[in-house]
């Protein structure tokens, strides 16, 4: 049961009415960077495809396209504690609204005739929407997370992951480390790594071309000047990096959270060893690491990766194109593996060639993205990139498939 005492209500009501900072944003430019629009004229095919990827959409300014969820009456309401609850607790309800092209989250808490309400705008959207989106708001130059997120599975509003159920907390700061993997740049106004104060005009949302290729102004200038073939192009091409440096580029954001920063956010240079920027930390779950954001760490444990001198993330993924359905990646497995060598093939034959991924890279729940909402748990599920044999998964797949064809099952291993 959620317990929300009067003292908590008093603290919440005080937080609802913190004074607002009306300072105007300051304008800044990042030297050497041209922006995605400058890439399109020469790289139209790659650009048009990339602009539809989850990487590109991992953060956006709030708009009709980026703010998901229903704003229709009733569907825009999330009730955490009903007003008629038997314990006599103060009610807590969130309402999501839109007005004149802007979007807002409001929290109302208290008893009938004695309530407090706080409303904040949805300014920045994080998350591509594949699993959901979380919203941020500016208070002057300070950036905070909003208490309610949107969950795609079920098309519903939920408490933002990690928030305490039964509270209306508008005070969670967004530090540079949070933004480093959800945006391409923002300029902090403090050297404190925990700051949430920024030059808000400097925010570059999404993962842009230059996040992987480096600043592009010099490249553009050389191309306009007619740079000769074979001469330095003034741009970084990850395809020319060593395998370790290619994987490092992905590991910047896909290698888990168990690490210590050695340099400020947004200072990593593609092609440099990631070990210069982060130090890995020991994890209590090292035998079975969490699947959230740890694709590289899990891949590096795989026999496929260890046995290859060339395998990288790009062996399967085309970063310039939207992700495919899992079945499409089985063809990558079959460039090295013979389907006949899989024990399950003895029962199912060539049909298994469509399901390499679901058996050997199963989808698992994460302990990192968890929302407790009105006494109900919402937990994200992500694909495990530790490629190996999972006997229980294989057996379940075999039984499920044979049952669909009314055949007796036997252990696959």
- Domain limits for position 45: 1-236
- Mean pLDDT computed over 123-142: 97
Q: Which stretch of 132-136, 146-150, 158-162, 406-410 has the lowest confidence by average pLDDT?
A: 406-410
DSSP letters spanning 206-263 = S--HHHHH---HHHHHHHHTTPPTTS--SS--GGGS-HHHHHHHHHTTSS-S-EEESS
Query: Residue 348's CB: how many other CB atoms inside 10 A?
Result: 19
For the chain, the domain total comes to: 1
> Which are the contacts of 300, defined by CB distance < 8 A and separation ≥ 6?
247, 306
Alpha-carbon span 272 to 375, nearest angstrom: 46
Residue 364 lies in a domain: no
Q: 43-53 burial string, b = 16+ CB within 10 Å, else e?
A: eeebbeebeeb
In a domain, 299, yes or no: no
Q: What percentage of residues in the chain have a pLDDT greater than 70?
A: 89
- Averaged over 9-20, what is the pLDDT? 35
Residue 143 lies inside a defined structural domain of this protein:
yes
Which runs of E-coded beta strand occur in 355-401?
363-373, 376-383
Between CA 332 and CA 318 the distance in angstroms is 12
pLDDT for the residue 409: 52
Closest CA to 276 of 287, 286, 263, 264: 263
Is residue 193 one of the residues assigned to a domain? yes
Residue 162 near residue 148, CB atoms below 8 Å: no
pTM value?
0.88
Are the C-beta atoms of 342 and 336 separated by less than 8 Å? no
Answer whether residue 311 is part of any domain: no
- pLDDT band at residue 26, thresholds of 50, 70 and 90? very low
Q: pLDDT, tens digit, for every residue of 135-157?
A: 999 999 999 999 999 999 999 99
Contact 80, 51 (CB under 8 A): no
> Is 187 among the domain residues?
yes
Q: Could you tell me if residue 74 is inside a domain?
A: yes
Q: Is residue 14 part of a domain?
A: yes
Q: What angle do CA 70, 61, 117 make, to 5 degrees?
A: 55
Helices and strands in the chain, H and E counts: 13, 17
């Amino acid at each position: 049961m959620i317990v929300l005492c009067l003292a908590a209500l008093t603290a919440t009501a005080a937080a609802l009415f913190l004074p607002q900072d009306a300072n105007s944003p300051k304008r800044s430019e990042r030297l050497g960077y041209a922006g995605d629009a400058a890439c399109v004229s020469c790289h139209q095919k790659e650009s048009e495809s990339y602009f539809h990827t989850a990487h590109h959409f991992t953060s956006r300014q709030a708009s009709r396209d980026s703010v998901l969820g229903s704003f229709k009456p009733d569907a825009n309401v999330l009730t955490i504690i009903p007003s008629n609850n038997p314990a006599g607790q103060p009610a807590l309800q969130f309402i999501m609204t839109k007005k004149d092209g802007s979007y807002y989250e409001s929290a109302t808490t208290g008893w009938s005739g004695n309530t407090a309400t706080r409303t904040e705008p949805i300014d920045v959207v994080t998350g591509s929407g594949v699993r959901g989106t979380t919203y941020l708001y500016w208070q002057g130059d300070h950036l905070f997370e909003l208490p309610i997120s949107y969950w795609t599975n079920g098309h519903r509003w939920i408490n933002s992951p990690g928030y305490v159920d039964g509270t209306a907390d508008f005070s969670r700061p967004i530090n540079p480390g949070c933004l480093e993997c959800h945006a391409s740049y923002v300029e902090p106004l403090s050297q404190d790594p925990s700051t949430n104060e920024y030059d808000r005009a400097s925010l570059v949302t999404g993962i842009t071309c230059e996040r992987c290729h480096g600043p592009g102004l010099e490249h553009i200038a050389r191309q306009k000047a007619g740079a000769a073939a074979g001469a330095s192009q003034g741009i970084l091409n990850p395809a020319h990096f060593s395998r370790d440096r290619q994987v490092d580029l992905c590991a910047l954001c896909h290698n888990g959270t168990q690490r210590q920063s050695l340099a400020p956010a947004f200072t990593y240079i593609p092609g440099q060893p990631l070990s210069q920027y982060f130090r890995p930390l020991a994890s209590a779950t090292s035998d079975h690491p969490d699947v959230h954001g740890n694709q590289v760490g899990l891949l590096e444990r795989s026999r496929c990766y260890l046995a290859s001198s060339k395998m990288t993330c790009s062996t399967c993924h085309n970063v310039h194109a939207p992700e495919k359905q899992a079945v499409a990646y089985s063809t990558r497995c079959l460039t090295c593996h013979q389907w006949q060598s899989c024990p399950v093939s003895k029962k199912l034959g060539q049909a298994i060639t469509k399901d390499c991924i679901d058996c050997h890279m199963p989808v698992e729940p994460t302990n990192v993205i968890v929302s407790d909402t009105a006494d109900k748990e919402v937990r994200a599920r992500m694909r495990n990139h530790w490629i190996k044999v999972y006997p229980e998964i294989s057996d379940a797949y075999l039984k499920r498939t044979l049952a669909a064809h009314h055949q007796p099952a036997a252990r696959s291993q």
